[in-house]
A and B are shown apart, each in its own frame.
Chain A
Amino acid sequence: NAGVMQNPRHLVRRRGQEARLRCSPVKGHSHVYWYRQLPEEGLKFMVYLQKENIIDESGMPKERFSAEFPKEGPSILRIQQVVRGDSAAYFCASSPTTLGTGETGELFFGEGSRLTVL
């Protein structure tokens, strides 16, 4: 299966702990997006990364949240000192390239990582 792989699917943390969510994009895709979805709500953009670069992190909270997409390995979304309000589903999506090269802009989504903060 060459789709977007996210792990863990479910993660439980206590307040103050750290959460690390991993995303392996579709093979050959160099663009990764992270979204957060609260229960019964839509998707909220968090961050857009290319290999070794953060392109847009305008949706990321200023504190405790960070993301990376190293040259080798998966993209990581890291949440430090988690609070109950961080409980949500975190979705990763990938795309092969940006607009202007014939790509229509479809995103390929993983199945999400569901974080529960106790």
Chain B
Amino acid sequence: GDSVTQMEGPVTLSEEAFLTINCTYTATGYPSLFWYVQYPGEGLQLLLKATKADDKGSNKGFEATYRKETTSFHLEKGSVQVSDSAVYFCALRGSNYQLIWGAGTKLIIKP
């Protein structure tokens, strides 16, 4: 079945560092791919999405490119801030209604 694998956390970086959080997936067909973010004590918010191969989703300085050849959707940001500290979830939605979730990656940014 469909699945999503994220790099394990926590990921700890200094402010202004470059961020990559890896996400790979297994799916039949052409799923839509998502990154959601969960700030402490809050619900999940959609960060960005991509619906077809080679699409790049971007928001708040974050980017992710839908790579069908490597079945990946890695999240990147050029210069992180303390306020980016959160848990990041990669997810896919295939041919049915269900979102398939990665386990989440906790990001800690130190000033």
Residues of A bordering B, CB below 8 Å: 4, 6, 31, 41-43, 45, 48, 55-56, 91, 93, 98-99, 104-112
A48 & B98 in contact (Cβ 8 Å cutoff): yes
Query: A-B pairs with CB below 8 Å: how many?
Result: 55
Q: Known: A42-B89, A43-B101, A48-B98. Contact between A105 and B32, CB under 8 A?
A: yes
B97 & A48 in contact (Cβ 8 Å cutoff): yes
Distance (whole angstroms) from the CB of A98 to the closest CB of chain B? 5
- Cβ-defined partner of B51 (8 Å) among A48, A93, A104: A104
B43 & A111 in contact (Cβ 8 Å cutoff): yes
A42 & B104 in contact (Cβ 8 Å cutoff): yes
Residue of chain A at shortest CB distance from B10? A40
Interface size class of B (residues with CB under 8 A): 20 to 34
Distance (whole angstroms) from the CB of A95 to the closest CB of chain B? 8
Of the candidates A93, A99, A105, A107, the one having the most CB atoms from chain B within 10 angstroms of its own CB is: A105
B17 beta carbon closer than 8 Å to chain A: no
B44 & A105 in contact (Cβ 8 Å cutoff): no
Q: Known: A91-B43, A106-B49, A109-B45. Contact between A55 and B104, CB under 8 A?
A: no
B19 beta carbon closer than 8 Å to chain A: no
B102 — which chain A residues lie within 8 A by C-beta? 42
Query: Among residues 40 to 69 in chain B, which have CB atoms less than 8 Å away from a CB atom of chain A?
Result: 42-46, 49, 51
Q: Known: A42-B89, A104-B51, A106-B34. Contact between A99 and B43, CB under 8 A?
A: no
- Cβ-defined partner of A99 (8 Å) among B34, B42, B97, B104: B97
